[in-house]
Amino acid sequence: MTIMERFLRYVAINTESCEGVETVPSSQRQFDLANVLADDMREIGLSNVRVTDNCFVYAELPATPGCEHLPCMGLIAHMDTTPQFSGADIKPQIINNYDGGDVVLPGNGTILSPSQFPGMKELVGKTLITTDGTTLLGADDKAGIVEILAACETVMKEDKPHGKIAIAFTPDEEVGLGVQQFDVAGFGADFAYTMDGGEVGGLAYENFNACGAMVEFKGLSVHPGSSKDTMINACLLAMEFNSMLPSAEIPRETEGYEGFFHLMHMEGDESSAKLVYIIRDHDAARFDGRKAQMKHIEKIMNHRWGEGTVTVHLREQYRNMREKIEPVIHIIDAARTAMEAVGMKPFDEAIRGGTDGAQLCYMGLPCPNLCTGGHAFHGPYEHIAVEDMEQCTRMLVELIYGVK
């Protein structure tokens, strides 16, 4: 089966995860892909293939004789697609020998244009796969899955010396829940890589520190005709709270290492209201400062309006992996070497988000993130080139052989 055939087969399976569900997996449909992957892994000859009750798929590529002493490297990708945009009934469009111009997405006439996505200029002459404009594509992260399996197939056919490779496909990465159930000890790797990046050459070993914030407001509702010095409008309290945050520190106005407060949801009436934020920053001290800033606003407003009027609930999500990667920086050097060996130009990128690897680092498994070749994830403009998936596969093969 070719890389393109395998990719098209997997993206046809809806694996959309669900927000607000505390069980893992958050959607039973993720088992549909998990079971297909388990069958495919057995077919290509991988060992110890298993699907857990929590929808994790594990397998191993055994070491060749005489290489059992080498460190065990792990390769990880996630099965779910984001709930932010439909992952059902995906109808990919295949464009052979892409000419570098605008692409019409046939499902609704949307235009995928290099003027919006300059990276498309690097895809000229390649086999481009896009959405039809009505769904996402699912390259995030089914491209990573395909590349891991294709690399394993190649290594098994070539039969060159290599150490043991541990493989895992995880649920619920997009909602930040799955990896909490990851069996690090059973996985057995000394270090690992998530295949969950974008542009060819991308190498990520730092990411946002992240937490969620839910802010609740309790108002006092009375008839507006007789509310002088009495009414406390919870919606206005919410507006006041948001106005006390720095207005330019939002996703639209920030890039690179700049952090932000992002208001994701708001609801309420005069009696009660709620704001839901995510807080992000690469720097740990600034990140802690952002959380303290929210608590300070809570204190100010409660002093002004009465104790218990405003309540800030903070929920830690993940931390910057860099401090866990720096002691084993040789695994970054190995990835760069593998990229260069297949003609990539590696570049470091600070993830303005998180990956399973960020949490795994703090669970004892150093786990930076590597490129898959995909672009414009989480929406109808998602696209990827077959040749880039093939190059990422060759990179993984080099990486497997390079473990010493």
Catalytic residue among 16, 40, 60, 80: 80
Distance CA 400, CA 132 (A): 36
Q: Is residue 56 very low, low, confident or very high in pLDDT (cuts 50, 70, 90)?
A: very high
Q: Which of 283, 318, 353 is the last residue of a domain?
A: 318
Q: Select the more confidently predicted residue: 395 or 228.
A: 395
The verdict on whether 53 is a catalytic residue reads no
Number of structural domains found in the chain: 2
Distance CA 331, CA 192 (A): 9
CATH assignment at residue 215: 3.30.70.360
Structural domain boundaries enclosing 262? 209-318
Quick count: other Cβ atoms within 10 Å of Cβ 94?
11
If asked whether residues 114 and 262 sit together in one domain, one would say no
Q: Residue 192 has which token pair?
A: 């690992």
If asked whether residues 278 and 365 sit together in one domain, one would say no
Residue 214 CB contacts under 8 Å (≥ 6 apart), including other chains: 274, 275, 276, 277, 312, 313, 315
If asked whether residues 364 and 216 sit together in one domain, one would say no
**Percent of the chain topping pLDDT 70:** 100
If asked whether residues 86 and 147 sit together in one domain, one would say yes
Q: Which of 254, 285, 318 is the last residue of a domain?
A: 318
Distance CA 205, CA 200 (A): 15
If asked whether residues 9 and 150 sit together in one domain, one would say yes
If asked whether residues 47 and 182 sit together in one domain, one would say yes
Q: Which residue is associated with the tokens 């403009």?
A: 381
If asked whether residues 215 and 247 sit together in one domain, one would say yes
Q: Residues 129-187: pLDDT tens digits?
A: 999 999 999 999 999 999 999 999 999 999 899 999 999 999 999 988 888 899 999 99
CATH assignment at residue 30: 3.40.630.10
If asked whether residues 181 and 37 sit together in one domain, one would say yes
The verdict on whether 80 is a catalytic residue reads yes
Residue 188 CB contacts under 8 Å (≥ 6 apart), including other chains: 60, 72, 164, 166
Q: Is residue 3 very low, low, confident or very high in pLDDT (cuts 50, 70, 90)?
A: very high
Catalytic residue among 40, 140, 173, 216: 173
Give the pLDDT score at 73: 98
Give the pLDDT score at 291: 98
If asked whether residues 268 and 173 sit together in one domain, one would say no
If asked whether residues 298 and 348 sit together in one domain, one would say no
If asked whether residues 260 and 373 sit together in one domain, one would say no
